[in-house]
A and B are shown apart, each in its own frame.
Chain A
Amino acid sequence: MKGLIYRDFCLVKKNWIPVFCISVGSVIWNILVQLSFEYGNLKKLVEENSGSGELARTVIYYMGLYMVPYLALILMDTLSVIRADLPVRWATNRKIFPVTALQWTASIYSIKVIGLLISVVLFLINGSVMAHMTGNSFGIYEFNNMLLFACFYLAFDWVQMAFLVRVRTEKEMNSASASPLLVLIPMFAVLFPKAKAYSAKFETLIPENAAIEAQEQIRLTKGLLQSEFGVYRDAVAPYLWLIVLALFALGFYLTYLGIRRREK
């Protein structure tokens, strides 16, 4: 199977390098931004505009914390492999080799596991450094948040893989690329009314030109960002690893079924 993984890796390498560089670059960028909040120009911004400055600092902190693994999760995306396989009719031609459908599936998922592990490592490095610099906590709570993001990403991924292994043409490829909408649209349908409700609440609490205590602003912002999300996350926290494994297993199985299928 090493040969198959090597083949897939050669095909994703071209996309991995920029994604990896951007992810590592984001870690460095986060560190620089936090240093600026502590010692540089952004510190002045916070001091001069205590309310909105602290708000900005909080938002930037959380974006920095979770953006890095989300970017790195793109490393799990094997769309580029499937796209590269179309011109050489790999879906047909690979069947001349003595490789079982299980081995093919395992080689694709090996790339995904490597991508996921890199994402986790980058998240841990990024989070630890940022937490140390800002005095914020970084532990199981944040790790579970990251796993929850990974679950959403995996859900998109297995829907996409289920379609991708069946594609034979560019047109089918484009349809398959859009298949994660099957997960995204219902998610939107559920979350959009909640987001709208919070937005309305926030607007009533911060009327135009009203002055609000900085601490109250931060508490409110954190509350808005964490409350309902935190409820869901805490409810599933004990099962997150199981959910991750289950999503991986489901994606693996669907991919295997697609690869095993013979053409008509």
Chain B
Amino acid sequence: MTDFENAIEIANLIKKYDGFTLDNVNFNVPKGSIMGFIGQNGAGKTTTIRALLNIITVDSGKIQLLGMDNIKDEIEIKKRISVVFDELPFQDIFSAKQIARILCDIYPKWDNQVYEGYLERFQLPMKKKVGEFSKGMKMKLQIATALSHGAELLIMDEATTGLDPVVRNEILDIFLEYLQDENHSILMSSHITSDLEKVADSVTFIDKGRILISGYKDEILENHGVIKCSKKDFQDIEKEDFISARLSDFGAEVMVSDKFAMKRKYDGLLLENTTLEEIMLFYVNRTKKEWS
């Protein structure tokens, strides 16, 4: 097995469509970590993931998963990773047992005992057709199949979208357990930033096909902050010092990317911690600079 530092390495990825371009995407997912891949709908998360998995052709760029080239070593990679999309890729007529019968032949390291263990834990029936499952049950089944063949990398594309908080929490706990093994890594794309704040080690933010931020979550949250001030005070803040500002009748909320520097420069203004959701909102509106 090739030794590698990053579970995923994407370098200079470019993919052009009419009206949308993945523009020079670069980021890495360190081995043994979970990366949250956040962005609005249509930002390019799914396109990036599809490029990773060699589902679509790319115009240029280099992609490596588990230290291997994503095109040359495609089959070998896919034996060692699991992908979870927002929908189960099996028809409603199949049961959990039948799905296991299909997958045990596809994955060399399929472990039926582990699979049945997860089904029991999630209280999923073996013989019931998945057409009769709820959305949450289907997602749990996907997770069970993803974790039953010794995958070293999980790629999740909007997997928790549409699930209730209880189910989402259950799934996030499973991911934290999965990461107990330092050889395991997760790339999780979502626009539910609260989930990523709970579990992610690092975060990459994509907007309109471009990577705006990529780094450790705690560092990003530590460095970013929101200045809350009156509109009069807002006039004193230089435009190049902030990402964007949300104006209302009550004042202004100004997102800054270097909280400590801004604290020194604009001493006296209230500067608060922020969340990933707020960071996403303010970055999305960065071109407008001032918005309401």
Which B residues form the contact surface with A (CB < 8 A)? 50, 53-57, 75-79, 83, 85, 87-91, 93-94, 98, 101-107
B87 proximity list for chain A (CB < 8 A): 88-89
Q: List 13 A-B contacts (CB under 8 A).
A: A3-B105, A4-B106, A14-B93, A89-B87, A90-B89, A95-B53, A96-B89, A98-B76, A98-B78, A98-B79, A262-B57, A263-B50, A263-B57
> What residues on A are CB-neighbors of B104 within 8 Å?
3
- Other-chain residue from B56, B89, B102 in contact with A88 (beta carbon distance below 8 A): B89
Write out the residue numbers on chain B whose beta carbons fall within 8 Å of the beta carbon of A4.
102, 105-106
Q: Are A3 and B103 in contact (CB under 8 A)?
A: yes
Number of residues of chain A lying within 8 A (CB) of chain B: 27
- Assembled-state Cα–Cα distance A90/B102 (Å): 14
- For chain A, residues 83 to 105, give those with C-beta under 8 angstroms from any C-beta of chain B: 84-85, 87-90, 92-100
B87: min CB distance to chain A, Å: 7
Q: Could you tell me the distance between the alpha carbons of A120 and B54 in the complex, rounded to whole angstroms?
A: 41
Pick from A3, A93, A95: contact of B106, CB below 8 A: A3
Give the chain B neighbours of A95 by CB distance below 8 A.
53-55
- A114 interface residue (CB < 8 Å to B): no
CB–CB A10/B93 < 8 A: yes
Q: Is the CB of B55 within 8 A of A262?
A: yes
Are A99 and B106 in touch, CB under 8 angstroms?
Answer: yes
Known: A263-B57, A264-B56. A98 touches B94 (CB 8 A): no
Chain A interface (Cβ within 8 Å of chain B)?
1-4, 6-7, 10-11, 14, 84-85, 87-90, 92-100, 262-264
With a CB–CB cut-off of 8 A, which chain B residues contact A99?
75, 106
Q: A7 — which chain B residues lie within 8 A by C-beta?
A: 94, 102
Q: Which residue of B lies closest to A87 (CB)?
A: B91
Say how far B156's CB is from chain A's closest CB, in angstroms.
12
Report chain A residues within 8 Å CB of B75: 98-100
Say yes or no: A3-B91 contact (C-beta < 8 A), given A96-B53, A96-B83, A262-B55. no
The smallest beta-carbon distance between A102 and chain B, in angstroms, is 11
User: Which of chain A's residues have a CB closer than 8 A to the CB of B79?
Assistant: 98
> What residues on B are CB-neighbors of A6 within 8 Å?
98, 101-102, 105
Given A98-B79, A98-B107, A264-B57, A93:B89 Cβ within 8 A:
yes
Q: Which A residues are in CB contact (< 8 Å) with B88? A: 88
Which residues of B are found within 8 Å of A85, using beta-carbon distances? 91
Residues of B within 8 Å of A87, CB to CB, are 91
